[in-house]
A = this chain, B = another copy of it.
């Protein structure tokens, strides 16, 4: 999950210098700085580059902006003709600041800290592109996919191409692991989940691995419940990131012999803190951490999280030993 954010005073200070969110993502000086802030403060094992999944539609030429408190906004695509406004050819140039950020991070990060790149999965990115922002029920994007699947497939295919190229270029700029976020995967019946989420992710993983066979890829199909098992079996990823709702004993039994697991503390426990946070952390470690495991949150950290609670969490995770 994103490590920097409004819960960190140093991040709020950087943001207060008057730049908007997208500017921070696309200005290497600032993106490097905010990526390093949580590493300096907490000495984490991995550093995830500071960026946003909507960098891709921006780089494709769609108008994207962030309103404080209201989430992202996009000039929505609603018709198949609107796809003509996208310029895949211009993408590499537009994303150059991200690659520059990664190159600098590789130089500046301690050698033992893994540099993680990422992208949104095609369905999640497409949902923002069609809805023009976040959505309660994804009515426009889903209805388009149901009504004219061949049209919607053109958008998804375009994003498969763009995302695979983007992730390959991230590796070549220094990313040592990749994560693919399908944050809104949990809204589809099984057949559509396969068509619009699992298959596109599988194709991206295939293309990235074809070029860089050894790059570890983590997939986060948030909210897919029982279908986590299909992602473990079929996506071709090295690791799956579990959302907060996935029961640990089920994950251990059905997923952990197929992929490395990552997850899944409720980020709101970092607001509450105290015994509940310790206990929630403990049950995750006891259930999953005797095998290769990446401790993480089950969803993004909230602005209300306490920096002290984050410090306590990290201390507890570092101190944990199997059978302890």
- Interface contact B225-A139, CB-CB below 8 Å: no
Tallying the copies of this chain within the complex gives: 2
Which chain A residues (162-193) contact chain B, with CB distance < 8 Å? Answer: 186-193
A158 to chain B, nearest CB (A): 22
Q: List 9 A-B contacts (CB under 8 A).
A: A137-B268, A137-B299, A137-B302, A139-B302, A142-B266, A149-B276, A187-B245, A223-B225, A226-B226
Segment touching B, from A3-11, A55-63, A246-254: A246-254
Residue of B nearest to A277 (CB): B146
- Interface contact A146-B276, CB-CB below 8 Å: yes
- Interface contact A268-B143, CB-CB below 8 Å: yes
Q: If the complex has contacts A139-B304, A280-B189, are A146 and B244 also in contact, measured as CB distance less than 8 A?
A: no
The answer for the CA separation of A277 and B146 in the assembled complex, in Å, is 8
Residue of B nearest to A190 (CB): B247
Q: If the complex has contacts A266-B142, A276-B147, are A244 and B137 also in contact, measured as CB distance less than 8 A?
A: no
- Interface contact B149-A189, CB-CB below 8 Å: no
Residue of B nearest to A254 (CB): B226
The answer for the CA separation of A61 and B191 in the assembled complex, in Å, is 45
Q: If the complex has contacts A139-B271, A268-B146, A271-B139, are A245 and B186 also in contact, measured as CB distance less than 8 A?
A: yes
Contact of A269 among B146, B227, B248, B299 (CB under 8 A): B146
7 further A-B pairs in the complex, CB-CB below 8 A; given A146-B269, A188-B266, A227-B247: A137-B299, A139-B268, A139-B302, A146-B268, A149-B276, A190-B248, A227-B245
- Interface contact B283-A191, CB-CB below 8 Å: yes
- Interface contact B147-A245, CB-CB below 8 Å: no
Q: Say if the beta carbon of A272 comes within 8 Å of chain B.
A: yes
Q: Say if the beta carbon of A292 comes within 8 Å of chain B.
A: no
A241 to chain B, nearest CB (A): 15
- Interface contact B268-A247, CB-CB below 8 Å: no
- Interface contact B268-A246, CB-CB below 8 Å: no
Q: Interface 1/0s, chain A 258-295, versus B by CB < 8 A?
A: 00000010101101111011001001000000000000
